[in-house]
Structure 1
Amino acid sequence: MNVVIRVDALYRYPVKGFTPERRESLVIQPDGRVAGDRALVFRFADAVAPEDATFPKSRGLALMTFPSLARVNLTFDDQADTIRLRVDDVDVTADLSDEGRALLAEAVTAYLRTTGDAPLLDADGILPLGLLGDGRTARFQDRPQGFVSLHGAASVAEVDAAVPAPVDDRRFRSNIVVSGAAPWSELSWTGRVRIGEVLFEVQKPIERCAAITANPDTGARDARLLRVLTGVFGQDEATLGILLLPVDGGGTIRVGDEVHPTP
């Protein structure tokens, strides 16, 4: 009996480091990025706007260094170009005008001041935060080519079973989650993989950072998942998921699409 691998969930991340946005479909651009993904970022004061489409985590707010960001419920309305930011007693909605950006940056800063991440704000070059991006152009990925990220739900389930803290797909912040693949089998995919109408070239496995240790509901670092991946699962580097680039111009992928790795 042949097992069918399908797209189980799709995500994009309008603001780098913040709330995932679950989607029924994603547009894969010819340049290898998801349309609207990481189209905004809260940059540090000493981080200038990049000339290229690369923005390392070290230049702005990211879960890797500010785990309490996971508690922020952030939604982006790409019709009205507004962001709503909710956490604790804070509930702010603002547009992408200069005044709106300043209001959102002040709200994020005020929230972080109430968390265990507050001392990080006092380092040289951090404040004041600024909000970069137009909300549409995917340009603040960590890597020059952007890439589309994918992992298997079964791999995450095995990690979840290995630790007492809850672990789900949100910790790994992939664009594509697939079901039907055996645990860890996606790490062995090479060559090309077709997802719905889009053909991809497999680039490499994803080496993970401390962002995955943050609980997506509480913002607490409650699981030593880097050690779990190297210790319990015997990996040389903490790895989960793979990076893809489209072949022949990209297209649209949808939840339920079949996934066909090269044998």
Structure 2
Amino acid sequence: MPRVVALYRHPVKGFTPEPRESLTVQADGRIAGDRVLAFRFADAATPEDRDGLDHWPKSKGLALESFPGLAALRLTHDDDAQRVRIEHGGSTLVEAGLDDDGRAELSAAVTDFVLASAEGRRLRRPGRLPLTLVGDGVRARFQDRAQGYVSVHGTASVAALSTALGQTVGDRRFRSNVVIDGLEAWEELGWEGGIRIGEVRFDAAGPIVRCLATHADPDSGERDAKVLTTLTGTVGQQEPTLGRLLILPGVSGAVDDATGTGGTIRVGDEVVVG
């Protein structure tokens, strides 16, 4: 029987994954505490409207796709105190709360780090500075799609990709919320209909087409694996795909649309397809 072997949330878009023993799936289909904050470019500090839903495209803020060096930072978000600490090389780069002064301090420190990195020139492009830290630290708003979802992949798919690459890549590189053992390689790509993980029932949504973020080592930020061309070349996919999106039945996708039935997912939970 397939089972959950790892769970992750990402409090700040594009930054450190946080391993968890359990995740709460909210009634809007999002993971509590996942992508509740984001560093956005100056000209994109408010959301776009996509079919009546707030949308925050990752191309208009800091994300691993364009700024892989962010992976070298270690970020923790204290949900209760509403404070963010960012470390680099074992030392604290910045620690501050989410009031106006704290946000300014966090944005300034991250700006200085990125400007000094190999991707600094990208941040200097017109309309990008100053960075703005957006989000209330509570609502999960900054996923790559306007509709709320939970992302999953199987360990066998990552192992098959590692074989094709000729090097070992780990699960954290793909930034999924849920990692499942006991599936065949690429099996999750064929899921249809209902999926149950522990006590939570989902509908299978689309497969996850991957981007350049997966080329970056999740610890160093170095682009050390040609994931996209390996998936479309050696593996033979039409698009570079790894993992699956799951949505709650009947949820529109709007933030705070509390019409779904969420619940808690735990490491060790069984996964039932169909």
TM-score of the pair, normalised by structure 2: 0.91
AA in 2 matched with 1:84: R
Q: 1:199 to 1:50 in 2, by over 3 A?
A: same
Q: Which of 228, 231, 241 lines up with 1:239 in the alignment?
A: 241
Partner of 1:63: 64
1:61-108 Cα offsets, whole Å, 9 max, x none, are 000110101111001011110000011355211000111111111111
Alignment of 1:99-110 (within 5 A): 99-110=101-112
1:178-197 equivalent positions in 2, closer than 5 A = 178-197=180-199
Report the equivalent of 1:138.
Answer: 140
CA distance in structure 2 between the partners assigned to 1:195 and 1:164 by the alignment:
32
Partner of 1:259: 271
1:126 matched residue in structure 2: 128
Residue from 236, 251, 261 that aligns with 1:249:
261
Task: Say whether the 8 Å CA contact 1:53–1:141 is kept in structure 2.
Answer: no
Distance 1:217 1:14 in 2: 17
Residue 82 (str. 1) matches residue 83 (str. 2):
yes
- Decide which of 14, 17, 20 is 2:17's aligned counterpart: 20
**SS of residue paired to 1:46:** helix
User: How do 1:169-184 residues align onto structure 2 when only pairs under 5 Å count?
Assistant: 169-184=171-186
- What is the one-letter code of the residue matched to 1:180? G
CA contact 1:53–1:138 (8 Å) conserved in 2: no
**Higher mean C-alpha displacement, 108-117 vs 86-95:** 86-95
Contact conserved, 1:6 with 1:179, CA < 8 A, in 2?
A: yes
1:5 corresponds in structure 2 to 2
Q: Give the drift of 1:206.
A: 0.6
Partners of 1:185 and 1:223 in 2: CA distance: 23
Matched residue count = 259
* 2:149 aligned residue: 147
Q: Is the 8 A contact 1:41 1:131 kept in 2?
A: yes
Note the aligned Cα RMSD (angstroms): 1.3
Q: Deviations over 1:150-178 (max 9, x none)?
A: 00011111112222444101111001000
Superposed structure 1 runs of 4+ greater than 3 Å apart: none
**Aligned mate of 2:118, from 116, 130, 145:** 116
Note closer, same or farther for the CA distance 1:38–1:53 as it changes in structure 2 (3 Å cut).
farther
Q: Determine the structure 2 residue equivalent to 1:50.
A: 47
User: Pairwise mapping of residues 217-228 of structure 1 onto structure 2 (< 5 A)?
Assistant: 217-228=219-230
TM-score with structure 1 length normalisation? 0.95
Q: Which moved more, 1:26-35 or 1:234-243?
A: 26-35
Name the SS of the counterpart of 2:248 in structure 1. Answer: strand
Shift of 1:188: 1.0
Taking the aligned partners of 2:261 and 2:57, their CA distance within structure 1 comes to 26
State the alpha-carbon separation in 1 of the partners of residues 97 and 140 from structure 2.
18
Give, in whole Å, the separation in 1 of the partners of 2:4 and 2:158: 15
Q: Which runs of 5+ in 1 are unaligned?
A: none
- Residue matched to 1:96: 98
For structure 2, the residue ranges without an aligned partner over 5 or more in a row are 250-259
8 Å Cα contact 2:209-2:242 kept in structure 1: yes
How far apart in 1 are the matches of 2:206 and 2:273?
14
Aligned counterparts of 2:205 and 2:34: Cα–Cα separation in 1: 19
Distance in 1 separating the partners of 2:88 and 2:167: 22
Structure 2: which amino acid aligns with 1:107?
A: A
- Kept after mapping to 2: 8 A contact 1:25/1:252: yes
